[in-house]
Structure 1
């Protein structure tokens, strides 16, 4: 009976065994750095001979036979042999290249035999006796040149009989493949050896299963994460949902010196090279959890990302030290007792006044880089997944806060409690906040009954006049405010229309008869007093040049026809110089923008 055809999409046995061997060698702590930089080519027409298993080029490409069958442990041996040619720096131009290749093969065969790693395929010698005093490749090479090649040293390479498994790269040898010319393979092998020693200690301590498929490494970071899940409800839910990644090579690639967090992927990177103990890991993990839980990645709103990250670091670290949670890392961190009690926004407004100094400080990721990683998709937070994660993070902290108090888990700073409570409530829209601002300055007018202006007579008693309800005489005096409108070229016309429409609507609803309007860009354009209806109808905007707000503010503050109690409403996009304002005021700016100075008045960020 004929063999059944292989199902469509099903991996053939040869490929499956090769993929398993490659997966295992890529997870081996010693070979992982080499494998992550090498390129494995398993396709028809590559450089591997028909009777061989694999050949290695000096540019880091390993050409594997596309059809030969082997067990996974045999592929481990073959691929490890090929990677060690790179790691040992065997690619040299010698007088007898074949003898040099054999000497390198013999050295690697002895190395792998002593490691007991993998199994050589049938027909390939896996053990060799090297004469005493000739352990190095150079010694073996000189011995072969002087005395010839012993029979036991044949078939040690992975290219098959009669072929060399090391190829010096040239444009022809790698064909269409690009080589890794700048990779220091020997340095990668050194890192792998260091990781292998660490892994061996973990294996002997029972923390790690050697080359296991599901290794559970109880590193200090994992112990700290487990402590949050079992003993600290405030951040336990977040700790259970985040994945801890401790890969020194990946951390080096991402320039992470201590730790960083990816809110989109729900991953926290901890660099083992930082040498944190369990208490320090508790501090660092809590730091990253609070970054995400307090939505620092979404609250930047146009601020400089790095300086905003620095401001958040100062606030979080201050809280954690007050709480006595873990130990402040010896490798560094940001802490300033003078900033105690300030919000992240207030700290940011302080540090932007000396950006040259604060750009030199280091977060847990390093100098000049924030430990809040940038999302892979720039606008992901505005999409459905980002909003769902936002709700999840806020609910984690708000529920954790309730559990923390119920179980009397210890002291929490007031600022942290306020931020968690605030985030658990839905945000207030800017126009609702603006309406409250109007209510603060313009309370409803008291109306009185008067016969001076008689109301419409009732049909049942047409001969009896009715008094009309009208505002009390003089109640409208001083009932006005000033609007300084930035009409520079950077202002969005939609923003101008939205702001003026809201101002006109709220003014009419609160019986404000007139509004003093001043346009300004590089010059001042006084529009005088306008009725709210005129503002809502059509306004001819003047300017569209640069932005200088101070002359317009001075004009209103010193105008003789403008009441001293009248507040100012300033509409700008933030691209302006520092201003001085002596009377009550508020700012309307686009969402995502910030002012280059610290305003004492209210700031409304328009969506």
Structure 2
């Protein structure tokens, strides 16, 4: 990915000293402690936190949850282990007050959004970038100034890290703005990929050696150890409570608005997997009912109620405007097949961006397996109306319509008579129907 692909923050009124250069894939800091007033740097951080408490109490309260710790040369810019805020004094010394606020909030949001507990089996490097790309556009939109030349991908605005991760090119060579220490394990997949060490590992080792030989850095914090599974669980619960209490504090002060309102609602609502929600929803359409039809003679003379199931006719529409990846569609198809094994359901599969084509409509009987077509086409804008027009024109009414989308498109003006379930990737709302978050 070339620099021309980036959207950078630019402000001609903010200039850095020549000794500091902040770039997405390379950060060069002259961290000479003898020339830096550590007390003055801490005062700068404290001042920025105080202003945040007064102006942005929600964010300020989150920032206050992280104790400030000046770090040794292992810390290139700033870092967090979900317990403390670590900073390179040379880096903070060269930032203005606006940029300091950005860095403080950036680390606090990593913790408040529990990025440290959500990586799962994802590659650490790509996950770290996804977390940064989720936070930075949000802060810029809220008016905060990032360090110069920090990549700001506005196309990720309003998306969470899990949604951004599959959109990042595997070959991207940029580095996160900060260090995410909570799972900074030297045995991570990225370190073991070629049997050697990554460049940042070599820098860390060199930094440790320098710290041992530098008596002036004895007051600086050492690099903390990665979190244990128990610590991750405890901190995840703690930060969820911090998020809720910070939101309540800001609401009482009348200073909670903007994108953070939607973000808080999303992360504080009970989290269930979309697979389980989909299964529960579809089970309600199985049409199981008791029948008093006369049984066979072998059953005896008594007529007892028995449970019978009728076939349901499902319509599944997939938004092919480009926002849904093939891996996500594959997972969705797998889940539908699992549901089909438990209930009798015929399926009409429709691929649609801004129109419906006959070659992009497939029929699957109840006894057949739902398979992924070779190509779904698409890539244009999103219009939901053609799918509803097609369903409404059928001779047999659909039992339910399931729409797999990011919900960014034109909706029908009126809600149809049959139930509609939206599996939504992203935070967009729907005007009617049953919405399930797809993450």
Shorter-chain TM band: 0.5 to 0.7
Counterpart in the other structure of 2:162: 345
Counterpart in the other structure of 1:421: 265
1-structure distance, mates of 2:438, 2:154: 30
Judged with a 3 Å threshold, the aligned counterparts in structure 2 of structure 1 residues 455 and 477 are, in CA distance, closer, same or farther, namely farther
Deviations, residues 466-517 of structure 1 (Å, cap 9, x unaligned) = 4754637xx34879x9xxxxxxxxxxxxxxxxx99xx98x778x55499xxx
Counterpart in the other structure of 1:66: none
**Matched length:** 290
Judged with a 3 Å threshold, the aligned counterparts in structure 2 of structure 1 residues 243 and 293 are, in CA distance, closer, same or farther, namely same
Deviation at 1:276, TM superposition (A): 0.9
Aligned partner of residue 293 in structure 2, secondary structure: strand
Judged with a 3 Å threshold, the aligned counterparts in structure 2 of structure 1 residues 426 and 387 are, in CA distance, closer, same or farther, namely farther
Deviation at 1:429, TM superposition (A): 5.4
Q: Are the equivalent residues in 1 in contact too, given 2:286–2:343 (CA < 8 A)?
A: no
Deviation at 1:394, TM superposition (A): 1.0
2-structure distance, mates of 1:477, 1:222: 62
Judged with a 3 Å threshold, the aligned counterparts in structure 2 of structure 1 residues 430 and 569 are, in CA distance, closer, same or farther, namely farther
2-structure distance, mates of 1:447, 1:437: 20
1-structure distance, mates of 2:312, 2:67: 64
Judged with a 3 Å threshold, the aligned counterparts in structure 2 of structure 1 residues 455 and 283 are, in CA distance, closer, same or farther, namely farther
1:364 corresponds to 2:172: no
1-structure distance, mates of 2:54, 2:313: 62
1:320 corresponds to 2:166: no
1:299 corresponds to 2:118: yes
Q: Give the alignment of 1:514-533 within 5 angstroms.
A: none
Deviation at 1:410, TM superposition (A): 4.8
Deviations, residues 198-247 of structure 1 (Å, cap 9, x unaligned) = 46xx6xxxx6xxxxxxxxx6532221123334553313443223122234
Deviations, residues 113-171 of structure 1 (Å, cap 9, x unaligned) = xxxxxxxxxxxxxxxxxxxxxxxxxxxxxxxxxxxxxxxxxxxxxxxxxxxxxxxxxxx
Deviation at 1:603, TM superposition (A): 11
Q: Are the equivalent residues in 2 in contact too, given 1:455–1:466 (CA < 8 A)?
A: no
1:471 corresponds to 2:311: no
Counterpart in the other structure of 2:63: 239
Judged with a 3 Å threshold, the aligned counterparts in structure 2 of structure 1 residues 404 and 388 are, in CA distance, closer, same or farther, namely same
Counterpart in the other structure of 1:533: none
Deviation at 1:392, TM superposition (A): 0.9
Judged with a 3 Å threshold, the aligned counterparts in structure 2 of structure 1 residues 261 and 382 are, in CA distance, closer, same or farther, namely closer
Deviation at 1:308, TM superposition (A): 2.1
What TM-score does the superposition give when structure 1 sets the normalisation length?
0.39
What TM-score does the superposition give when structure 2 sets the normalisation length?
0.52
Q: Are the equivalent residues in 2 in contact too, given 1:398–1:421 (CA < 8 A)?
A: no
Q: Are the equivalent residues in 2 in contact too, given 1:294–1:419 (CA < 8 A)?
A: no
Aligned partner of residue 219 in structure 1, secondary structure: helix
Q: Give the alignment of 1:400-415 within 5 angstroms.
A: 400-413=246-259
Unaligned 5+ runs, structure 1: 1-187, 208-216, 366-370, 482-498, 515-556, 571-577, 587-598
2-structure distance, mates of 1:466, 1:399: 60
Q: Are the equivalent residues in 1 in contact too, given 2:130–2:162 (CA < 8 A)?
A: yes
Q: Give the alignment of 1:368-447 within 5 angstroms.
A: 371-375=179-183, 383-413=229-259, 416-428=260-272, 432-433=276-277, 435-436=279-280, 438-439=282-283, 442-447=285-290
Aligned partner of residue 451 in structure 1, secondary structure: coil
Unaligned 5+ runs, structure 2: 1-29, 188-224, 317-333, 347-359, 378-400, 405-424, 427-435
1:563 corresponds to 2:365: yes
Q: Are the equivalent residues in 2 in contact too, given 1:445–1:511 (CA < 8 A)?
A: no
Deviation at 1:290, TM superposition (A): 0.6
Identify the match of residue 194 of structure 1 among 23, 29, 35.
Answer: 35
Larger Rg: 1
Q: Give the alignment of 1:230-269 within 5 angstroms.
A: 231-247=55-71, 250=72, 252-254=73-75, 256=76, 258-263=77-82, 265-269=83-87
Q: Are the equivalent residues in 1 in contact too, given 2:62–2:246 (CA < 8 A)?
A: no
Between 1 and 2, higher relative CO (CA 8 Å, sep ≥ 6) is seen in 2
Deviations, residues 44-80 of structure 1 (Å, cap 9, x unaligned) = xxxxxxxxxxxxxxxxxxxxxxxxxxxxxxxxxxxxx
Judged with a 3 Å threshold, the aligned counterparts in structure 2 of structure 1 residues 477 and 397 are, in CA distance, closer, same or farther, namely closer
Shift >4 Å, 4+ stretches: 376-382, 452-457, 467-470, 510-514, 557-560, 564-567, 578-586, 602-605
Aligned partner of residue 79 in structure 2, secondary structure: strand
Deviation at 1:303, TM superposition (A): 2.1
Q: Give the alignment of 1:79-98 within 5 angstroms.
A: none
Counterpart in the other structure of 2:294: 451
Counterpart in the other structure of 1:7: none
RMSD: 4.8
Judged with a 3 Å threshold, the aligned counterparts in structure 2 of structure 1 residues 564 and 580 are, in CA distance, closer, same or farther, namely farther
Deviation at 1:568, TM superposition (A): 3.5
Judged with a 3 Å threshold, the aligned counterparts in structure 2 of structure 1 residues 424 and 558 are, in CA distance, closer, same or farther, namely closer
1-structure distance, mates of 2:34, 2:343: 79
Judged with a 3 Å threshold, the aligned counterparts in structure 2 of structure 1 residues 579 and 283 are, in CA distance, closer, same or farther, namely farther
Deviation at 1:286, TM superposition (A): 0.6
Q: Are the equivalent residues in 2 in contact too, given 1:455–1:467 (CA < 8 A)?
A: no
Q: Are the equivalent residues in 2 in contact too, given 1:220–1:276 (CA < 8 A)?
A: no
